Chains A and B, each alone.
Chain A
Amino acid sequence: MIWAAIVVAGVGCYLLKLAGLSVPARLLERPIIERSADLLPVALLAALIAVQVFARGTAVVIDARLLGLVAAVVALALRAPFIVVVLVAAATAAVARLV
Protein backbone atom coordinates (compact mmCIF):
# COMPACT_ATOMS: atom_id res chain seq x y z
CA MET A 1 0.00 0.00 0.00
CA ILE A 2 2.88 2.36 0.70
CA TRP A 3 4.16 1.70 -2.82
CA ALA A 4 0.73 2.62 -4.21
CA ALA A 5 0.82 5.89 -2.26
CA ILE A 6 4.33 6.62 -3.57
CA VAL A 7 3.26 6.06 -7.19
CA VAL A 8 0.02 8.08 -6.83
CA ALA A 9 1.84 10.95 -5.12
CA GLY A 10 4.69 10.81 -7.65
CA VAL A 11 2.47 10.84 -10.73
CA GLY A 12 0.06 13.37 -9.21
CA CYS A 13 2.75 15.81 -8.07
CA TYR A 14 4.43 15.62 -11.49
CA LEU A 15 1.14 16.31 -13.30
CA LEU A 16 0.51 19.32 -11.04
CA LYS A 17 3.93 20.74 -11.95
CA LEU A 18 3.36 20.03 -15.66
CA ALA A 19 -0.11 21.59 -15.54
CA GLY A 20 1.34 24.83 -14.22
CA LEU A 21 3.86 25.01 -17.07
CA SER A 22 1.30 23.96 -19.72
CA VAL A 23 -2.21 25.30 -19.13
CA PRO A 24 -3.18 28.82 -20.16
CA ALA A 25 -2.68 31.09 -17.15
CA ARG A 26 -6.29 32.30 -17.16
CA LEU A 27 -7.57 28.83 -16.21
CA LEU A 28 -5.83 28.84 -12.83
CA GLU A 29 -5.13 32.52 -12.30
CA ARG A 30 -8.25 33.41 -10.35
CA PRO A 31 -7.95 35.21 -7.02
CA ILE A 32 -9.88 32.59 -5.00
CA ILE A 33 -7.91 29.67 -6.44
CA GLU A 34 -4.61 31.49 -5.98
CA ARG A 35 -5.31 32.47 -2.39
CA SER A 36 -6.54 29.00 -1.44
CA ALA A 37 -3.51 27.34 -3.04
CA ASP A 38 -1.21 29.76 -1.22
CA LEU A 39 -2.92 29.08 2.12
CA LEU A 40 -3.09 25.28 1.71
CA PRO A 41 0.54 24.67 2.72
CA VAL A 42 0.07 26.86 5.80
CA ALA A 43 -3.03 25.00 7.04
CA LEU A 44 -1.64 21.57 6.15
CA LEU A 45 1.77 22.11 7.73
CA ALA A 46 0.19 23.49 10.92
CA ALA A 47 -2.13 20.47 11.04
CA LEU A 48 0.79 18.10 10.45
CA ILE A 49 2.71 19.71 13.31
CA ALA A 50 -0.27 19.42 15.66
CA VAL A 51 -0.89 15.76 14.78
CA GLN A 52 2.79 14.87 14.84
CA VAL A 53 3.34 16.39 18.27
CA PHE A 54 0.06 15.70 20.14
CA ALA A 55 -1.60 12.63 18.60
CA ARG A 56 -1.05 9.05 19.69
CA GLY A 57 -3.47 6.91 17.71
CA THR A 58 -6.83 8.61 18.27
CA ALA A 59 -5.80 10.18 21.61
CA VAL A 60 -4.42 13.68 22.18
CA VAL A 61 -1.48 13.46 24.60
CA ILE A 62 1.32 15.69 25.91
CA ASP A 63 4.76 14.06 26.06
CA ALA A 64 8.43 14.64 25.24
CA ARG A 65 7.55 15.58 21.64
CA LEU A 66 6.14 18.90 22.90
CA LEU A 67 9.50 19.74 24.50
CA GLY A 68 11.10 18.95 21.14
CA LEU A 69 8.74 21.39 19.42
CA VAL A 70 9.44 24.14 21.97
CA ALA A 71 13.16 23.63 21.39
CA ALA A 72 12.55 23.90 17.62
CA VAL A 73 10.76 27.24 18.15
CA VAL A 74 13.75 28.55 20.10
CA ALA A 75 16.16 27.34 17.39
CA LEU A 76 14.08 28.99 14.65
CA ALA A 77 13.85 32.25 16.61
CA LEU A 78 17.66 32.18 16.74
CA ARG A 79 17.68 31.71 12.92
CA ALA A 80 19.20 28.24 13.03
CA PRO A 81 19.30 26.39 9.68
CA PHE A 82 16.82 23.58 8.90
CA ILE A 83 19.08 20.67 9.81
CA VAL A 84 19.96 22.25 13.19
CA VAL A 85 16.27 22.81 14.01
CA VAL A 86 15.51 19.14 13.29
CA LEU A 87 18.47 17.91 15.33
CA VAL A 88 17.64 20.17 18.29
CA ALA A 89 14.02 18.93 18.32
CA ALA A 90 15.16 15.30 18.24
CA ALA A 91 17.90 15.72 20.86
CA THR A 92 15.59 17.56 23.27
CA ALA A 93 12.93 14.84 23.10
CA ALA A 94 15.54 12.09 23.41
CA VAL A 95 17.12 13.69 26.50
CA ALA A 96 13.67 14.33 28.05
CA ARG A 97 12.88 10.62 27.74
CA LEU A 98 16.11 9.69 29.53
CA VAL A 99 15.36 11.72 32.67
Chain B
Amino acid sequence: MAGGSRQIVRDGILVGVATGAYGVSFGAIAVAAGLKVAQACALSLLVFTGASQFALVGVVGAGGSALAGAATALLLGSRNALYGLRLAPLLGWHGWRRLPAAHLVIDESTAMSMTRDNRSDARAGFISTGISVFLLWNLATLVGSLAGEALGDPRAYGLDAAVGGAFLALLWPRLRDPRNRVVAVLGAAVALGTVPLAPAGFPVLAAAVVALVAGAVSRRDDPTELPERGDPSGGGAS
Protein backbone atom coordinates (compact mmCIF):
# COMPACT_ATOMS: atom_id res chain seq x y z
CA MET B 1 0.00 0.00 0.00
CA ALA B 2 1.34 3.42 -0.92
CA GLY B 3 2.07 6.03 1.75
CA GLY B 4 -0.79 8.26 0.58
CA SER B 5 -3.30 5.42 0.88
CA ARG B 6 -2.05 4.58 4.34
CA GLN B 7 -2.68 8.17 5.43
CA ILE B 8 -6.19 8.05 3.93
CA VAL B 9 -6.96 4.82 5.80
CA ARG B 10 -5.64 6.29 9.04
CA ASP B 11 -7.85 9.37 8.60
CA GLY B 12 -10.83 7.12 7.91
CA ILE B 13 -10.29 5.18 11.13
CA LEU B 14 -9.98 8.45 13.08
CA VAL B 15 -13.33 9.59 11.71
CA GLY B 16 -14.77 6.22 12.76
CA VAL B 17 -13.54 6.69 16.33
CA ALA B 18 -14.94 10.24 16.53
CA THR B 19 -18.30 9.12 15.14
CA GLY B 20 -18.43 6.16 17.51
CA ALA B 21 -18.39 8.64 20.40
CA TYR B 22 -21.76 9.91 19.33
CA GLY B 23 -23.07 6.41 18.85
CA VAL B 24 -22.90 6.21 22.65
CA SER B 25 -25.27 9.16 22.93
CA PHE B 26 -27.56 7.61 20.30
CA GLY B 27 -27.81 4.38 22.31
CA ALA B 28 -28.54 6.24 25.55
CA ILE B 29 -31.11 8.53 23.93
CA ALA B 30 -32.86 5.63 22.17
CA VAL B 31 -33.35 3.79 25.45
CA ALA B 32 -34.46 7.03 27.15
CA ALA B 33 -37.11 7.38 24.41
CA GLY B 34 -38.53 3.99 25.36
CA LEU B 35 -36.77 1.63 22.93
CA LYS B 36 -35.30 -1.69 24.02
CA VAL B 37 -31.55 -2.28 23.77
CA ALA B 38 -32.15 -4.72 20.89
CA GLN B 39 -34.22 -2.10 19.03
CA ALA B 40 -31.52 0.55 19.41
CA CYS B 41 -28.91 -1.91 18.10
CA ALA B 42 -31.16 -2.99 15.20
CA LEU B 43 -31.53 0.66 14.17
CA SER B 44 -27.78 1.15 14.03
CA LEU B 45 -27.27 -2.11 12.12
CA LEU B 46 -30.10 -1.72 9.60
CA VAL B 47 -30.71 2.00 9.15
CA PHE B 48 -27.08 3.06 9.69
CA THR B 49 -27.46 6.76 9.00
CA GLY B 50 -27.27 8.87 12.13
CA ALA B 51 -29.74 11.70 11.58
CA SER B 52 -32.48 9.28 10.44
CA GLN B 53 -31.94 7.13 13.52
CA PHE B 54 -32.07 10.10 15.89
CA ALA B 55 -35.22 11.32 14.10
CA LEU B 56 -37.05 8.00 14.39
CA VAL B 57 -36.20 7.81 18.08
CA GLY B 58 -37.15 11.45 18.64
CA VAL B 59 -40.57 11.09 17.01
CA VAL B 60 -41.40 7.77 18.72
CA GLY B 61 -40.08 9.08 22.06
CA ALA B 62 -42.38 12.12 21.81
CA GLY B 63 -45.35 9.76 21.50
CA GLY B 64 -45.59 9.85 17.72
CA SER B 65 -46.70 6.86 15.67
CA ALA B 66 -44.07 4.41 14.46
CA LEU B 67 -45.16 5.20 10.90
CA ALA B 68 -44.50 8.94 11.34
CA GLY B 69 -41.11 8.06 12.83
CA ALA B 70 -40.20 5.88 9.87
CA ALA B 71 -41.42 8.51 7.38
CA THR B 72 -39.25 11.19 9.00
CA ALA B 73 -36.27 8.84 8.94
CA LEU B 74 -36.78 8.16 5.21
CA LEU B 75 -37.05 11.87 4.36
CA LEU B 76 -33.79 12.53 6.19
CA GLY B 77 -32.21 9.50 4.50
CA SER B 78 -33.02 10.85 1.03
CA ARG B 79 -29.81 12.89 1.03
CA ASN B 80 -27.83 9.63 0.93
CA ALA B 81 -29.29 9.02 -2.54
CA LEU B 82 -27.68 12.28 -3.68
CA TYR B 83 -24.40 11.26 -2.09
CA GLY B 84 -24.60 7.99 -4.03
CA LEU B 85 -25.13 9.85 -7.30
CA ARG B 86 -21.90 11.75 -6.79
CA LEU B 87 -19.97 8.73 -5.53
CA ALA B 88 -20.99 6.27 -8.27
CA PRO B 89 -18.68 7.55 -11.04
CA LEU B 90 -15.87 8.17 -8.53
CA LEU B 91 -15.90 4.68 -6.97
CA GLY B 92 -16.74 2.85 -10.19
CA TRP B 93 -18.25 -0.27 -8.61
CA HIS B 94 -20.66 -2.35 -10.69
CA GLY B 95 -22.81 -5.45 -10.21
CA TRP B 96 -22.89 -7.13 -6.80
CA ARG B 97 -20.19 -4.85 -5.33
CA ARG B 98 -22.71 -2.02 -5.19
CA LEU B 99 -24.88 -3.99 -2.72
CA PRO B 100 -22.49 -3.94 0.28
CA ALA B 101 -21.08 -0.54 -0.73
CA ALA B 102 -24.55 1.05 -0.67
CA HIS B 103 -24.98 0.36 3.04
CA LEU B 104 -21.84 2.41 3.77
CA VAL B 105 -23.02 5.55 1.90
CA ILE B 106 -23.30 8.07 4.77
CA ASP B 107 -22.19 11.64 5.54
CA GLU B 108 -18.74 10.63 6.77
CA SER B 109 -17.76 8.14 4.05
CA THR B 110 -18.95 10.59 1.39
CA ALA B 111 -16.98 13.48 2.83
CA MET B 112 -13.85 11.32 3.10
CA SER B 113 -13.96 10.09 -0.52
CA MET B 114 -15.49 12.99 -2.51
CA THR B 115 -12.33 15.07 -2.37
CA ARG B 116 -9.93 12.40 -3.76
CA ASP B 117 -8.62 12.90 -7.27
CA ASN B 118 -8.25 9.26 -8.29
CA ARG B 119 -10.30 6.08 -7.95
CA SER B 120 -8.00 4.08 -5.66
CA ASP B 121 -7.74 6.95 -3.15
CA ALA B 122 -11.51 7.48 -3.28
CA ARG B 123 -12.08 3.78 -2.63
CA ALA B 124 -9.54 3.75 0.20
CA GLY B 125 -11.28 6.72 1.86
CA PHE B 126 -14.75 5.27 1.33
CA ILE B 127 -13.99 1.76 2.59
CA SER B 128 -11.82 2.70 5.56
CA THR B 129 -14.25 5.37 6.76
CA GLY B 130 -17.40 3.36 6.02
CA ILE B 131 -16.25 0.18 7.75
CA SER B 132 -14.69 1.84 10.79
CA VAL B 133 -17.76 4.04 11.32
CA PHE B 134 -20.01 0.97 10.92
CA LEU B 135 -18.10 -1.12 13.46
CA LEU B 136 -17.64 1.62 16.05
CA TRP B 137 -21.11 3.13 15.62
CA ASN B 138 -22.71 -0.26 16.30
CA LEU B 139 -20.41 -1.08 19.21
CA ALA B 140 -21.03 2.38 20.69
CA THR B 141 -24.81 2.00 20.31
CA LEU B 142 -24.70 -1.21 22.34
CA VAL B 143 -22.57 0.41 25.06
CA GLY B 144 -24.72 3.56 25.18
CA SER B 145 -28.04 1.70 25.30
CA LEU B 146 -26.83 -0.63 28.07
CA ALA B 147 -25.56 2.37 30.05
CA GLY B 148 -28.81 4.27 29.41
CA GLU B 149 -30.83 1.32 30.65
CA ALA B 150 -28.78 1.18 33.86
CA LEU B 151 -29.40 4.89 34.57
CA GLY B 152 -33.15 4.69 35.25
CA ASP B 153 -35.41 7.76 34.79
CA PRO B 154 -33.91 9.62 31.81
CA ARG B 155 -35.41 12.99 32.72
CA ALA B 156 -33.45 13.13 35.98
CA TYR B 157 -30.27 13.21 33.88
CA GLY B 158 -31.66 15.70 31.36
CA LEU B 159 -31.58 13.10 28.58
CA ASP B 160 -34.76 14.58 27.07
CA ALA B 161 -32.85 17.86 26.65
CA ALA B 162 -29.86 15.95 25.24
CA VAL B 163 -31.93 15.02 22.17
CA GLY B 164 -32.49 18.69 21.28
CA GLY B 165 -28.77 19.32 21.77
CA ALA B 166 -27.89 16.37 19.51
CA PHE B 167 -30.16 17.62 16.71
CA LEU B 168 -28.76 21.12 17.04
CA ALA B 169 -25.20 19.79 16.76
CA LEU B 170 -26.18 17.95 13.55
CA LEU B 171 -27.79 21.11 12.13
CA TRP B 172 -25.15 23.62 13.25
CA PRO B 173 -22.60 23.33 10.37
CA ARG B 174 -25.36 24.08 7.85
CA LEU B 175 -26.49 27.26 9.58
CA ARG B 176 -23.55 29.19 8.10
CA ASP B 177 -25.63 29.53 4.94
CA PRO B 178 -28.24 32.34 5.14
CA ARG B 179 -30.81 30.42 3.06
CA ASN B 180 -30.48 27.44 5.40
CA ARG B 181 -31.05 29.72 8.38
CA VAL B 182 -34.32 30.96 6.85
CA VAL B 183 -35.44 27.39 6.10
CA ALA B 184 -34.52 26.30 9.64
CA VAL B 185 -36.53 29.10 11.29
CA LEU B 186 -39.54 28.46 9.02
CA GLY B 187 -39.32 24.71 9.59
CA ALA B 188 -39.26 25.14 13.37
CA ALA B 189 -42.17 27.63 13.20
CA VAL B 190 -44.32 25.34 11.03
CA ALA B 191 -43.61 22.40 13.35
CA LEU B 192 -44.50 24.33 16.52
CA GLY B 193 -47.62 25.75 14.88
CA THR B 194 -48.71 22.21 14.03
CA VAL B 195 -48.05 20.74 17.51
CA PRO B 196 -51.48 21.64 18.97
CA LEU B 197 -53.28 20.51 15.80
CA ALA B 198 -51.86 17.09 14.93
CA PRO B 199 -50.61 13.93 16.64
CA ALA B 200 -46.91 13.75 17.55
CA GLY B 201 -44.70 13.06 14.54
CA PHE B 202 -46.77 15.01 12.03
CA PRO B 203 -45.42 18.47 12.97
CA VAL B 204 -41.97 17.35 11.80
CA LEU B 205 -43.37 16.01 8.53
CA ALA B 206 -45.24 19.31 8.01
CA ALA B 207 -41.90 21.09 8.17
CA ALA B 208 -40.68 19.03 5.18
CA VAL B 209 -43.07 21.10 3.04
CA VAL B 210 -40.93 24.17 3.83
CA ALA B 211 -37.90 22.45 2.27
CA LEU B 212 -39.84 21.40 -0.84
CA VAL B 213 -41.22 24.91 -1.38
CA ALA B 214 -37.85 26.56 -0.68
CA GLY B 215 -36.17 24.13 -3.09
CA ALA B 216 -38.66 25.07 -5.78
CA VAL B 217 -38.41 28.85 -5.38
CA SER B 218 -34.71 29.41 -4.59
CA ARG B 219 -32.03 29.44 -7.26
CA ARG B 220 -28.65 29.15 -5.64
CA ASP B 221 -26.94 25.84 -4.77
CA ASP B 222 -26.27 25.15 -1.12
CA PRO B 223 -22.53 25.55 -0.44
CA THR B 224 -22.72 23.64 2.85
CA GLU B 225 -24.45 20.52 1.59
CA LEU B 226 -21.53 18.23 2.42
CA PRO B 227 -20.36 17.95 6.00
CA GLU B 228 -16.83 19.25 5.67
CA ARG B 229 -15.30 20.46 8.89
CA GLY B 230 -12.83 23.29 9.02
CA ASP B 231 -14.06 25.03 5.89
CA PRO B 232 -14.08 28.69 6.90
CA SER B 233 -15.47 30.10 3.65
CA GLY B 234 -19.04 28.99 4.29
CA GLY B 235 -20.71 30.54 1.31
CA GLY B 236 -17.99 31.50 -1.14
CA ALA B 237 -17.59 30.23 -4.66
CA SER B 238 -14.95 27.53 -4.59
Contacts and interface: CB of A to CB of B under 8 A. Distances in A.
Interface of A: 1-14, 16-23, 25, 28-29, 32-55, 57-60, 64-65, 67-69, 71-73, 75-76, 81-83, 85-97
Given A82-B22, A86-B165, A9 B56 contact: yes
Contact of B84 (A21, A50, A91, A93): A21
B86 to A, nearest CB: 8
A75 B161 CA distance: 14
Contact of B42 (A10, A45, A48, A65): A10
19 contacts: A10-B46, A13-B48, A18-B84, A35-B215, A36-B215, A41-B51, A42-B174, A43-B184, A43-B207, A43-B214, A44-B55, A46-B171, A47-B187, A49-B164, A50-B187, A55-B195, A60-B196, A68-B165, A72-B165
B162 A9 contact: no
Interface stretch (B2-10, B75-83, B131-139): B75-83
Given A18-B99, A44-B187, A94-B157, A89 B165 contact: yes
Given A44-B55, A48-B191, 5 more contacts: A8-B74, A13-B74, A16-B74, A28-B81, A37-B79
B52 A42 contact: no
Interface residues of B, number: 105
B79 A40 contact: yes
